[in-house]
């Protein structure tokens, strides 16, 4: 029904006009992220997260990739060059927001914690955080 190319500005801004969705995008800043980490970091029910991710997908600002049972979401740049530039600047702007900063820290903490919350024992971690996690101890 809708083609890849029907990216429009109103839909784009509507996707960004909700705090939950901004928080989700913020967590994908550096990497694709598995849905289970979104629910853990935002402390929101899974259907809520899923619905907001669907919203972002339909607006064309994220892609989903399946890996076994897990779904990874990543930011995708809009086809139009100026729109892509705008989107990058928006992300840079938002990343300074205090709550969003805390969210990213929380994601890092959750991923690197030696004792993961029960549900996340085998969940695939965001790549950038895995590399931190696997860094040899400074001893």
Is residue 125 within 8 Å of residue 133, measured between CB atoms? yes
By the rule CB under 7 A, 20 interacts with DNA: yes
d(CA 111, CA 124): 9
Residues 3-42 that bind a copy of itself (CB under 8 A): 9-11, 13-14, 16-19, 22
What is the DSSP-derived secondary structure letter of residue 97?
S
Place of tokens 């990216």: 7
Binding mask 62-81 toward a copy of itself (x if CB under 8 A, else -) reads ------------------x-
Question: Hey, which residues does 67 pair with through a beta bridge?
Answer: 70
Which among 21, 27, 65, 38 has a CA at the least distance from the CA of 120? 38
3-state class (DSSP) for residue 4: coil
User: In angstroms, what is the minimal distance from the CB of 36 to DNA?
Assistant: 3
> Which parts of this chain interact with DNA (CB under 7 A)?
18, 20, 34-36, 39, 44-55, 64, 66, 68-71, 119, 122-123
> Which parts of this chain interact with a copy of itself (CB under 8 A)?
9-11, 13-14, 16-19, 22, 80, 82-83, 85-86, 89-90, 92-94, 96-97
């Amino acid at each position: 029904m809708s083609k890849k190319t029907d990216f429009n500005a109103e839909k784009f801004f509507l996707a960004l006009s909700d705090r939950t969705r901004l928080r989700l995008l913020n967590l994908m800043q550096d990497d694709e992220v598995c849905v289970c980490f979104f629910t853990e970091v935002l402390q929101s029910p899974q259907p809520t997260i899923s619905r907001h991710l669907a919203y972002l997908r339909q607006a064309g600002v994220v892609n989903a990739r399946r890996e076994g049972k897990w779904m990874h979401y990543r930011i995708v740049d809009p086809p139009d060059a100026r729109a892509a530039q705008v989107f990058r600047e928006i992300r840079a702007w938002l990343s300074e927001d205090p709550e969003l900063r805390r969210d990213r820290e929380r994601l890092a903490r959750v991923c690197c914690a030696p004792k993961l919350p029960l549900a996340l024992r085998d969940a695939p971690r965001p790549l950038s955080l895995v590399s931190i996690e696997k860094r040899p101890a400074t001893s």
